[in-house]
Amino acid sequence: MSTFENLEYSSLLANFKELLKNNSLKFTKQREVVLKTLYERNEHFTPEDLYIFLKSTYPELNIGIATVYRTLNLLEESLMVTSISFGVAGKKFELANKPHHDHMICKTCGLIIEFQNDKIEQLQLEIAKANHFHITSHLMQLRGLCEKCAKEKS
Amino acid sequence: MSTFENLEYSSLLANFKELLKNNSLKFTKQREVVLKTLYERNEHFTPEDLYIFLKSTYPELNIGIATVYRTLNLLEESLMVTSISFGVAGKKFELANKPHHDHMICKTCGLIIEFQNDKIEQLQLEIAKANHFHITSHLMQLRGLCEKCAKEKS
DNA sequence: GTCACTGCAAACGGTTTGCACCTCT
DNA sequence: AGAGGTGCAAACCGTTTGCAGTGAC
């Protein structure tokens, strides 16, 4: 269970500021808009997508893509965002303020459906235990076709 | 269930040759040693690891890394090998001649433990059905520490 | 005023591609 | 002989890093 579950923006922001302070890091406009955008849009962003969005939404900041990467990495290390991996194609990031969940990903249109299943989580723990393995995280993605794309193909 | 499950080398080779013939592709020494190595070593190879192994084991072939990538991609498209992804760090490939399974991966030493659980597979299908999603494949990795590394850390 | 942060551009690492030569069929 | 395959090196693409200038504290 994440420390940041179900927090609203003001609390997330306070957490972020405290985290920065504790590590002698600075609160900047760039870091603020990254967190704000992840919160408000509630989407799965690639660093590239987020960069493009921020570039056009806050042109006065003239944000660089390196800063987007640096901020996402900082937030991920701090467990305030999580990422899902797409193999060689890269990663997508989302804010970690919702309960743990996994993803179904449509191969055709890229739609992401979130789901959560306690029984599977439980079984994973049992399997790990049987193998003397200590789970720190897991990755579960179901890949295939969403309803719309499945219809279009048939 | 894979078409190639439990096949031994001679059958795999025959399948590969037929596949090549059907697509007007040629059977070469390079393609042969890639398949042979994946079969004999029965490991999870990165393209780089496989390249280094082939380079030293068959120096007379003077194999290039591009050929290793091309062959692995060909075999993966043909469903004769599968890959597991490590985010930005790349992929590892293994021969698809064993029954479907998933992986536990030790973050510290890279150890890979294979496991299989019918109940989870069943639950995944149910979840997909409830979301009108048509699964074609799934990815499940448990990440954490193996027994040995967990002991060393404590 | 100091130290961290930023944008920029160059570097990086894994992967793919264009090309001239080679090899399987 | 001809099609496809190969090794090589260059290109590619997402990501990281060095650096000089900027901004938070």
User: Least CA distance to B136: which residue of chain A?
Assistant: A144
Closest to A5 measured CA to CA, from A79, A138, A98: A98
Contacts of B145 (CB under 8 A, 6+ apart): A133, A134, A136, B106, B107, B108, B153
Q: Is A87 in the B-facing interface, judged by CB distances under 8 Å?
A: yes
B105: left (phi over 0), alpha (psi -120 to 50) or beta: beta
- Nucleotide closest to residue B67 (CA–C1'): D6
Interface test with B, best of A92, A117, A125, A142 (most B CBs within 10 A): A142
Q: Is B134 in the A-facing interface, judged by CB distances under 8 Å?
A: yes
Q: How do the pLDDT tens digits run along chain B, 154 residues long?
A: 557 877 889 999 999 999 999 999 999 999 999 999 999 999 999 999 999 999 999 999 999 999 999 999 999 999 999 998 776 777 899 999 888 899 998 877 878 899 999 999 999 999 999 999 999 888 898 988 999 888 876 6
**Residues of A in Cβ contact (< 8 Å) with B83:** 87
**Residues of A in Cβ contact (< 8 Å) with B88:** 85, 90-91
Do the strands A102-106 and A134-145 form a parallel or antiparallel pair, or are they unpaired?
A: parallel
Q: How many Cβ pairs closer than 8 A exist between chain A and B?
A: 115
A61 Cβ within 7 A of any nucleic strand D atom? no
Q: How far apart are CA B29 and CA B1, in angstroms?
A: 29
Which residue type occupies A35? L
Considering only the beta carbons, identify the residue of A107, A128, A143 that sits closest to B139: A143
Q: What is the gyration radius of the CA atoms in chain A, in angstroms?
A: 18
Domain limits, chain B: 9-95, 102-153
Considering only the beta carbons, identify the residue of A90, A106, A134 that sits closest to B150: A134
User: What is the reported pLDDT for B1?
Assistant: 52
3-state helix, strand, coil in chain A (%, to 5): 50, 20, 30
Q: How far apart are CA A24 and CA A2, in angstroms?
A: 23
Q: How far apart are CA B138 and CA A104, in angstroms?
A: 9
Q: What is the pTM of this model?
A: 0.86
Note whether A141 contacts B138, CB cutoff 8 Å. yes
Q: How far apart are CA A15 and CA A7, in angstroms?
A: 10
Considering only the beta carbons, identify the residue of A119, A132, A146 that sits closest to B123: A119
**Residues of B in Cβ contact (< 8 Å) with A88:** 85, 90-91
Residue A5: DSSP 8-state = T
Interface test with A, best of B116, B134, B149, B152 (most A CBs within 10 A): B134
Q: How far apart are CA A7 and CA A13, in angstroms?
A: 10
Spell out, as residue ranges, where chain A has pLDDT lower than 70. Answer: 1-2, 87-88, 153-154
User: What is the reported pLDDT for A56?
Assistant: 96
Exposure string for A18-37, b = 16+ CB within 10 A, e = fewer = ebbeeeeeeeeebbbbbbbb
User: What is the reported pLDDT for A1?
Assistant: 52
- Cα of B29 to nearest chain A Cα, Å: 28
Class of domain A9-95: mainly alpha
CATH no. for B102-153:
3.30.1490.190
Q: Is B154 in the A-facing interface, judged by CB distances under 8 Å?
A: no
